[in-house]
Every structure is written in structure tokens, then in C-alpha cells.
Structure 1
Amino acid sequence: MRRALLLFALAAALPARAQEPTLAWPVDCRIGQDCFIEDYVDQDPEPGRQRDFACGYNARDAHRGTDIALLSFDAIDEGVAVRAAAAGRVLRTRDSMADDRLMRGVTNQNACGNAVLIDHGGGWQTMYCHLRRGSVAVRPGEPVEPGTPLGLIGLSGQTNHPHLHLTVTKDGAVVDPFRPAADPGTCGEPGETLWQDPPTYVKTGLVTAGFSTAVPEFEAIRDGSARAEYGAPALPLVVYALMAFAQQGDVLELSAAGPKGEIFRHSVVIETTQNSSFQAYGRKAPPAGWPLGEYLGEALLTRDGTVIAHRFAHIDLRP
């Protein structure tokens, strides 16, 4: 009896093993309809290369979180809520940075933009980045439950399009919620996740999209030299998109709009399943030239009417 009591006392004195948090969907949006998962945690340790948890290309080099992206800049003004993914307590917040696509004043220290950091106990934390200025709805020290409103998706910090960047950490190390038990830097078949209702993984994605002033070559798209951030009014405007693992029957829509409205909107049905392929479409400048100012391009990839990938492109036309 004394031995049993001693063992019980020792067991009671040991700290309980912290449970992994179960994550609820953190954005008020419908995945595949008005939002999608744009990028996952990068599992490739080599600089300049990227690989998601399932060995696809839906990640960016050295990316440390999950990006849930919206399909429209208008959604920022309409207000799309970000909610706590799990119960915990707010550690820190930031709510003073401007929503600025040009990322003026952004440094390594504030790249997350307006944000909320939540502690879930046992070394687990979640960080919610790029919130709209003035929208943060919680304060440090406050308890939260799954679904507690934290703020609205914005354009603060190091981002040029509206999305939530969610980072999950355990004892300071990044954990991919889609494959939490895997060794860092590895990829493979999806297994157990931290998600309460795991989103469906789609290997197909858009590696990049951009503006060019002529139909670009494949290698120029891959190495980045095709991208034009500035252009002249007399030059053509072309939007291109580089796809990974696009399947036969997928539909890619390329569009561009400027100061006077839409310039073009062009759809193409993918005819052949390929690991890597690109499409481009554009228009020659009108006789008087394009109006000066900023132009927004979009590449939207759908499968059976469901959004599986989307990228924005930007160019500024100057004299």
C-alpha cells in the first residue's frame, strides 16, 4: 500500500503532458469558393527551393506558416474575420501598421504586420499575421476560445495581397499543422493533422504569376526575369502564370485591369496533365498608349468550379 501511495504521489507531482491543440478553421471564408490555401510551410532546407508537406510546390522558400488567401482586395473593406484556432491566452498584439501593398516601413521585425500571438499551454503557440489596422479585437492577457474573433484580414506587414499567415510553434520551433509529427525538412504522405476538420490538400498550384511586356519564355518565368514591375504606356501588357501539376480539364483564367477598368479576361482549358507548364495572354497598347498608373493582374485556377489556386500580379506604368 505504501508503495502504491508513493507511486501515486510521484505521478501527481509530475507535470501533465500537454495535449497538442486541435485547430479550428481560423478565417470566416469558404475554402475553394472565396479563399484557398495559397502556401504551406516550406519543408525544403535548401535555399532557393521550396516543397510543401506532401512534396508538392505549394510553398515559398523559407515560408514558416500556412497562408489562407482571399480572392479579392474588396474583401478587405468588406471585412473578413480571423478567429482563434484553439483555446488559450493572448500574449501579444500589434494594431498600428498601415495596410500598404507597397510594404513601406516594413522590416524583419514587423514583417508579420498587425498580429495576435496566442499561448495554448505546453509550449504551443499560434501567430496570426497581416491583420487590418484598427481591427484587432483582443488584448494581452485575455483568454480566448476556438472561434473568438481576433481581427480582420488586412494588408499590413510584408504582403501585397490579402491573406492570413498562420504560424504554429512548439517550444519556439515551427510545426506544420498538416504533418505535425514529421521530422522538420521532410515531406511525404499526409497523416495525422492538428486540424479539427482537415482541409483537402490539392497538389496542383500556381508557382508564380506576373506582368510582362511581351509573351515570356518558360525559363524567364522560372528564373524571375520575365516579371516587369514597371512599364511604359506604349508597350503590350501580358499576364502569365506558371502552374505545377495542372490536370487535364483544369481552367486557368488570366485577367488584367487598370485605371479605366478591365483590359482583358481570358480563360483556357488545360489540355494535358503536366508537372510544370505556363500560360500567358495579353493585349497590345492602344494608339494613345495605356493610361498611367497601377494595373492589377490575376491568375485563377479552378477544377470543376472549385478554386484551387490564385495569384495577383502588379505593374506600374510610368512615362
Structure 2
Amino acid sequence: MIARVVRTLAPLLIAAATGAAADQPDLRLPLDCVLGQTCYIEDYVDTDPGPGQRDYTCGIKSRDDHRGIDFMLLSFEAMATGVNVLAAAPGIVAATRDGMADTPVTAQTRETIEGQECGNAVRIDHGDGWQTLYCHMKQASLTVQKGDRVAAGDSLGQVGLSGLTNAPHVHLGVLKDGQIIDPFNPDNRNTCGATPDESMWDTALHYDPSGLFTAGFSTSVPEFDAVQTGSARVRTARSDQPLVLYGHVFYAQPGDQLTLTAQGPEGEIFSHDVILENPQAQLFRAFGRKSPDGGWPDGAYRGYVRLTRGDTVLAVRHADITVTR
């Protein structure tokens, strides 16, 4: 879902993460949300120096060469309402970019954002070589400009869908002298995991290994190998075909809940909860409806798959499909 940010607002030297100095800033949440309630972390800094990926716990919640932390909203509706991106630490605005449309990237549009993968963005200088970068902000929402002094928690603009992304979130990059730093493991300790007091966060942010690989629509209940390879996903359907939404889960725990919902041009078409009694390392669940009499209305349909544990949201994925006659 979320691709890596390759280039920033200026020619920064994006090198492999190295040890951080003792003068590191304390970071606050860069989003006006409550983790596990109105937002969640999907991807962490990739600590694998070669192909493949691993997060700071040696888990799989990263992407190859991912260079920041992705703080996700739960829905496009939340983005439309407006959620503020916040300065994670005090500093001076070093650069901004605005004017890019809030449009999900596709294979057809990928080349048009070459060199602007960060989208609409703000970069803040915190002194002593420390900077933070805030990517994928909403077009025309920026409230700061170069040279402005900001305090921790000040609004910089709103979460959007600009640049190399297809879901609303803010990508936070932390840099020291132009090099990417993992704020969960700033000293780059070669261990699986770091204690909370080793991180840069002023309040410890909980890590959970569970999540969702993907969600998708199909026109029948797919086979697991088709879900794993991506061949189960369809993007268009006839109005007389069933609409089936599936979610691909990893490392769930007994009692976790998967909620599958879908909406079309005339509103909700289904909402279904599944309790995962005996989950495996990987699994998928699917739910759908046959077409109504006369067929589904033509238009765009969106589904959400949400993984929760008690009252805590662990992950959300969305899927889109277009129905035509």
C-alpha cells in the first residue's frame, strides 16, 4: 500500500542509518490522533541493509528501503474531515512543498511524481543537524512557510494523499546530518528490539507484530494462494456478479476481531465481524454478497478490513472495485 519515499524536498544525503548523538530531540506524535483509536502505525524504518525488510524488532512491519514511520488514518472519510499534521519537536521550517493533488498513485501515474514521492510536505530543522520531514500532506492545507518557528505540537497542515501513496497517512522521516535515523532505535543497536528509554519518543509508542498484508475484492471466495500472490484481486466486476471482500492477516492472536465492511453508490452493502479463534501465522477471511435483483448499481465501491484487539485498532486496509453493466 505505502511505497517508500525516495527523495525529499532538497538534496539531502539519505544514507543508511547510523548511531545518533546524545543531543537528539524528544519527539511527539506527528499527528492529531490517538494511537490505536483514530490512527495506527503501519510501517517502520527498514533496518535491513540489503533486499528485503525488517523493522527495529526484527519483525516484518516495514518495506524494502522504507525510510520513515507511517502514521495511518483509519479511512478516507477521516482525511476528508481534516486531521492535523503536528510538529514532532520545536524548530524552524526549512522547506515546504505544496500544489500536488491528493490522488492515489497508480502504475499509470507513477512516473508523473518522479522526484516528488514525498508529495506536499514540510521539513523542520531542530538544530545540531537534526531534521524531521512530514510527507503526503493535503493540497493547500499547509499552514507554515520557510523560516517560521514552530513549537512541538503546532499544526503544519493536514493529512492528505499526495505523492507516492494510496492511503491517507503522514510519513515521518527523522534525519541527523542528512542520514535517516530510526526514532525507535536511534543508536542503531544491532539487536531485535529496543527498550522505550532508548527511543526518541517523549512517550513510549507501543509496538505490536500483528497486522494486515492486504485487502481486496473478488467475485468469489478466493483460494489462499491467490490471496498471497495477489491474483485474487479484481478491480472491475459486472453488476450481476457477487462482491467478496477479503483480508490477509499476519500474527493475529486468539480473540482478535476482523471487521469487513463495504459501501457502494447507495450506501453500505455489508458489515461482517469475524473472531479469530485459532489464528495461524498467516490467514485470510472473506465475506460478500450476491448481486441484488437487477444487479449492483454502477459505480465505485470501497471496502475496509479492520483488525482489532479489544478496543485497540491494530491495522486497517482498504480495497476499491468498479461495477459496470
SS of match in other structure, 2:80: helix
Query: Structure 2 length normalisation: TM-score?
Result: 0.87
- The answer as to 2:300 corresponding to 1:318 is no
CA distance in 1: counterparts of 2:129 and 2:76, whole angstroms: 35
Per-residue deviation, 1:45: 4.2
- The answer as to 2:39 corresponding to 1:39 is no
Partner of residue 228, structure 2: 222
- The answer as to 2:173 corresponding to 1:164 is no
CA contact (8 A) 1:18 1:122 kept: no
Letter in 1 for 2:174: V
CA distance in 1: counterparts of 2:117 and 2:85, whole angstroms: 18
Note the aligned Cα RMSD (angstroms). Answer: 1.9
Larger radius of gyration: 1
CA distance in 1: counterparts of 2:50 and 2:259, whole angstroms: 32
Per-residue deviation, 1:102: 5.0
Going from structure 1 to structure 2, the CA distance change for 1:187 and 1:156 (only over 3 Å counts) comes to farther
The answer for unaligned runs of 5 or more in structure 1 is: 1-16
CA contact (8 A) 1:52 1:187 kept: no
CA distance in 1: counterparts of 2:65 and 2:240, whole angstroms: 38
Going from structure 1 to structure 2, the CA distance change for 1:288 and 1:44 (only over 3 Å counts) comes to farther
Going from structure 1 to structure 2, the CA distance change for 1:250 and 1:35 (only over 3 Å counts) comes to same
Q: 1:19 aligns with which of 23, 29, 48?
A: 23
CA contact (8 A) 1:43 1:187 kept: no
SS of match in other structure, 2:228: helix
User: What pairs up with 1:102-121 in 2 under 5 angstroms?
Assistant: 104=109, 106-121=112-127
Going from structure 1 to structure 2, the CA distance change for 1:313 and 1:61 (only over 3 Å counts) comes to farther
Per-residue deviation, 1:160: 2.0
Going from structure 1 to structure 2, the CA distance change for 1:233 and 1:45 (only over 3 Å counts) comes to farther
User: What pairs up with 1:258-297 in 2 under 5 angstroms?
Assistant: 258-297=264-303
Partner of residue 14, structure 1: none
Partner of residue 233, structure 1: 239
The CA deviation string for residues 60-86 of structure 1, in whole angstroms up to 9 with x for no partner, is 333221111111222223221111101
| Identity among equivalent pairs (%) | 50
Going from structure 1 to structure 2, the CA distance change for 1:275 and 1:169 (only over 3 Å counts) comes to same
Query: Structure 1 length normalisation: TM-score?
Result: 0.88
Per-residue deviation, 1:18: 6.7
SS of match in other structure, 1:89: strand
User: What pairs up with 1:19-168 in 2 under 5 angstroms?
Assistant: 19-47=23-51, 49-101=52-104, 104=109, 106-168=112-174
Letter in 2 for 1:217: E
SS of match in other structure, 1:27: coil
The answer for unaligned runs of 5 or more in structure 2 is: 1-20
Letter in 2 for 1:50: Q
CA contact (8 A) 1:38 1:68 kept: yes
- Number of paired residues? 300
Per-residue deviation, 1:187: 5.8
